[in-house]
Amino acid sequence: MRSANSWFAGRVRRSRRSRWRYVDNAYEDGTLAKFTTSFDPSWGKTKAVHRPVPGNHEYLTANAAGYYGYYGAQAGDPTKGYFSYDLGDWHLMALNGECNYIGGCSAGSPQEVWLRQDLAAHPNSCVLA
């Protein structure tokens, strides 16, 4: 019997549309082994279109090493975990909510300063963070 993850990942692969998807609890911790054995069998085939952001499970492994090892440059700078990109007319910002690992998330933190600069540099009317 196929898992719900396998079924949904297959639908994503067959679609030509951009889709947002929230994938969590696919593994207990963010080791590279968990990515390759739990996540990759279903979602690995769509990896090329992922725009991942780390979460609490990834940081259960020191410096989210498994997550950054699996995604590489696609996940952004490993010391930050936040980045932005354009998709059509939209400018999207992927933020890292694991504040303790990136120097905080409050006013004046590296991520907040970057976010203000990124917003100023991209005055698109269609913005999503």
In a domain, 85, yes or no: yes
In a domain, 71, yes or no: yes
- The reported pLDDT for the residue numbered 8 is 53
In a domain, 112, yes or no: yes
| Positions in the chain whose pLDDT score sits under 70 | 1-26
Strands 90-94 and 83-87: antiparallel
Tens digit of each residue's pLDDT (9 = 90 or more) over 84-112: 999 889 999 999 999 999 999 999 999 99
In a domain, 2, yes or no: no
In a domain, 91, yes or no: yes
Average pLDDT, the chain: 84
- The reported pLDDT for the residue numbered 7 is 57
Cα angle 86, 57, 17; round to 5: 35
What DSSP designation does 40 have? H
- Hey, what are 27's tokens? 């593994």
In a domain, 107, yes or no: yes
What total number of domains does the chain contain? 1
CA 15 to CA 109: how far, in whole Å? 39
Whether the predicted model's global pTM rises above the 0.75 cut: yes
Residue-range definition of the domain harbouring residue 117: 26-128
